[in-house]
Amino acid sequence: DIQMTQSPSSLSAFVGDRVTITCQASQDVSVYVNWYHQTPGKAPKLLIFDSFYLQTGAPSRFSAGGSGTSFAFTISSLQPEDVGTFYCQQYDKLPFTFGQGTRLEIK
């Protein structure tokens, strides 16, 4: 199985800060990486698909990129509603796999 390793596992930042999360794949997954946001007790929401495309309805402060084994997700200006957990996910090969998650808090 392809392992997706996110960094950091948790982080705390101020409203307005620029925040970046990285995701490392254990093997080449081309651009087949997606990013999701989940708040406790709720279903995840798709933010980014195919490495860098912003999902319809997702705020423009979210961006991402990468290919091969290295990927990054950025929030340009952190907002209070961004608290929760962010996950990367690969769909290059079955079984699809998620990163372990990055928990984001507001300072």
- Positions touching other proteins (CB under 8 A) are 1, 32, 34, 36, 38, 42-46, 49-50, 55, 85, 87, 89, 91, 94-101
DSSP code for 82: G
- State in angstroms the smallest separation of the CB of 82 from other proteins: 18
Pairing label, strands 97-98, 84-90: antiparallel
Nearest distance in Å: CB 40, other proteins = 10
Nearer to other proteins, 16 or 60 (CB): 60
- Rank residues 50 and 105 by Cβ distance to other proteins and give the closer one: 50
Closer of 16 and 43 to other proteins (Cβ): 43
Q: Token match 């402060």: residue?
A: 61
Report the relative pairing of strands 53-54 and 62-67 from DSSP bridges.
unpaired
Structure tokens at 87: 């996950």
Q: Which is nearer to other proteins, 2 or 19 (CB)?
A: 2
Taking a C-beta distance cutoff of 8 angstroms, is the pair 95, 4 a contact?
no
Shortest reach from residue 14's CB to other proteins, in Å:
26
Q: Residue written as tokens 């392992």?
A: 3
